Structure 1
Amino acid sequence: MAETRSIATRSTGLPTGVEGGGFGNTSIEQMTGPQRAAVILLVLGEEHGRTIWQEFDDDEIRIITRAMAELGTVDADEVERLMLDFVGKLSSAGAVTGSFDRTISLLEKILPSDQVALIMEEIRGPAGRNMWQKLGNIDASVLANFLKNEYPQTIAVILSKIRPDHAANVLRNLPNDLSIEVVGRMLRLESVQKEALDHIENTLRTEFVSTLTQTRRRDPHEMMAEIFNGFDRQTEIRFLSALDASNQEAAERIRALMFTFEDLAKLDPAGLQTLMRQVDKDVLARALKGASQPMREFFFGAMSQRAAKNMQDDMEGLGPLRLKEVDEAQTKLVQMTKDLADKGEIVLSKGNSEDELVY
């Protein structure tokens, strides 16, 4: 545990002594955007600036107030120049409309294209007006994977700030011993000092949320695997055969990522029972009519002897079926399984509890 890193104890890299100083003779051209905004809001004061403050989200308020607190003294001439510059730009521009495309167009004239891409991809990323809302929109398994190397106390603080249902899913994805320890810490959790909370937020922003988009770009093979899952068997075979001829490696990766009817054999007994309670008996009979013997025995094993005998009779009563009818029934079972997994009612795995795949 000596190497365990902790959000709560890492430095944010902010200056510790900012009193005095100020800009002095610094021109407005050298000020950052937050510094300019801070000057304008100080000039407007409480009465005239209130409505502007109310339009900011929590992150924007923190950025501007930090710039304001570190501002020091700005010469009166510079303040006047800044206000004239601001009013002049506002009056000459007329109505201002912000949009995603217009923002990209503006940034591309100022910043390198790769930096613009990263910034705008982050904006497209997890939604939320503040850090805790953003965390609430990040997949629980992804968040748990990031937090599992943190101190239990730090994890407890973070989980106490997000939605209870999301915190529950994160706990479920943490290692068992760690999750139990975190629960204990949450039960004993007292008020957290603002400075410590700011450290956690800043580190989450710089080390996790801001870089999440770089690791969450979706593998195109995963996308194609989902598309192939929607094909009937003949179409699937046609496309995969074509891929085998032109790009065998891609075909193999897609096959490995696809979730097929045969993959239902990976369901644990509880998951299989959940699926059996949901599926229509006629659909199951059609699906099993064209299934392999091991798959039939897998489903029959989850039934009573009487129910299994009735299902076999139903299958025989269907008579000959077109392959398309069997494919449609099996696809319905696969899709139903995925839907149940998305709701957390079924866990899909590759045979061990440490390598779960939830679709």
Structure 2
Amino acid sequence: MATDDSSSDLNRMQRLSGVEKATILLLAMGKPLADRIVKRFDSDELKRVASSASTLRTVERPVLDRIVDDLVKQLEVGIGLVATPGQAQELISGVVSEEDAAQILETVNGSSGKTLWPRLSRTPGANVAKFLMQENSQTVAYVLSMVAPDLAASVVAQMPAAQRNSVMRRMLALKPMTDAAAALLEEILAENLLSGVTSDGDTNLQAKLASVLNKLEKQQMDEALKSIEAVNPKGAKLVRGLLFVFDDIVKLAPEARAKLFDEVPSEVTIMALKDAQPEVVEAALGGVSSRARRMIEQELTGGAPATKKDVQKAQRWIADLVLDMADRGLIEIGGSHDE
């Protein structure tokens, strides 16, 4: 049945004319952005779009998604025009003074993605999630691949499971975006998300996705991995090798555990071990001094109970420290996350 629906959506999209597809996209993107595009149309183009809008029937979400995906694919192929800073200077030369032209070019060059993504990474996750949850999964995947892992994890954690898993699958298979498409997306983000707010290959994609997954709760991580594994088993296996959760300390070499727990405050170790399996407790205690071990064991047997949230926070803190120490070359992880 799902296959029939998908085929029907594809057939309807293929029957749409170019003008109808353009009209649908303009209506979907909202008036502020559509106005900026429509003002570049000539009178004949405006009449054709207006006529199309007046006769357009209801467009189901799957059809809209296919139209957006088709546009993204065309943008990935590229267009036959490449602008340069020199052309930009030539464009405004003679229109404004040389001093004003220099200031304009400096502003334009400074507003590129080099400054957008760090700014976006400092934006509250709730704001970014609210904006991106209304966008196509392909767009969301690209944006999350460009921002800091902490923000990406915060965003996907707030998404419904189906959307979260779809975005994760697309992140793993993400292709480079053309400069023109990236510039358009960055402009939209800067205008609609940042206003008023104070790819290097498959290996990098896997590392980026692992960085996001490492910040999620274990249940969310497992759900995302299962979803990825269903469509890309090889990619899922490679990503698993880059993951690390607290229970994986049993896979660390004794020397690595000793270095790790030398950096962990005793109170954090105690909290993290409150809800741990016996083999995990033993592995952790094997990395501390005899005196610290006796004190921790005493707290675990007679100390006050802890909330699940506090335990998970302590475990995540230690897991993050492991990843940080591995990045700095202080220890080797060596193992992988198992379900």
- State the TM-score, normalizing by the size of structure 2: 0.38
